[in-house]
Copies of this chain bind each other. A is one copy, B any other.
Amino acid sequence: MRSGLDTAKVIRDKAAELFFEKGYDATTLREVATAAGLKVGSLYNHIASKEDLLLQVMGGIIDDLVELQQQALGVEGDAVERLRAVIECHMRFHAERARAVYIGNTNVRSLSEGPRAEIVAKRSAYERILEAQIEAAGDAGLVQLIDARLHAYSIVAQGFHVAGWYREGGRKSLDDIVADYTKIALRELKVVDADERVDVARAPAEA
């Protein structure tokens, strides 16, 4: 018999796999149980309900994201440096924790009113901060904005998308992907010397 904590972790992991591959609605608790080496009834020694399991799998991922964004906002430098940090943080998070992010983004609809509203609110607050940083860089005259909200959407979209396809051990390393996407984002904002800013950030000891 496994220890209770181990079993709970196995359940979460297997559930995450299944939720990622088939979606929450299409995943059966019996499938989760089988994958975890259990019978369906035994799951209830570790979870309160199916929705509770989904929440465990999402596991405050949005809170982690918001927290990292706050850290990124604290970097030294001008508005563009700050924006670059926020974007890099955004892309890195969405690649590094792709599976959980993907599950979170695609299955919010399946949550009941309370938790859903909470998550949606946090996510839109996160996006508003990104947009505000973009606008700040625009106001400072350091970037040439087309439309702040659309730029924010564009960057958010790339995060969502990368969470859908990124896997460890793929064609490019995580660092390369993050660096490339950050370049891409800064290019669309027409930052002066956008590419160089990224390269400098990657090799700060070069000089």
Contact = CB atoms under 8 A, between A and B. Distances in A.
Contacts of A150: 177, 180-181, 184
A184 B148 CA distance: 11
Contact of A26 (B25, B146, B156, B190): B25
A154 interface: yes
A52 interface: no
A154 B184 contact: yes
Given A109-B23, A184-B188, A188-B184, A156 B161 contact: yes
Interface residues of A, number: 33
Nearest to A25: B25
The secondary structure that dominates the A interface is: helix
Contacts of A83: none
Contact of A153 (B25, B149, B162): B162
B162 A161 contact: no
Interface of A: 22-23, 25-26, 106, 109-110, 146-147, 149-151, 153-154, 156-158, 160-162, 165, 171-172, 177, 180-181, 183-185, 187-190
Given A26-B109, A153-B161, 20 more contacts: A23-B109, A23-B110, A25-B25, A25-B26, A146-B183, A146-B184, A147-B172, A147-B180, A150-B180, A150-B181, A150-B184, A151-B184, A154-B158, A156-B161, A157-B161, A157-B162, A158-B158, A160-B161, A187-B187, A187-B188
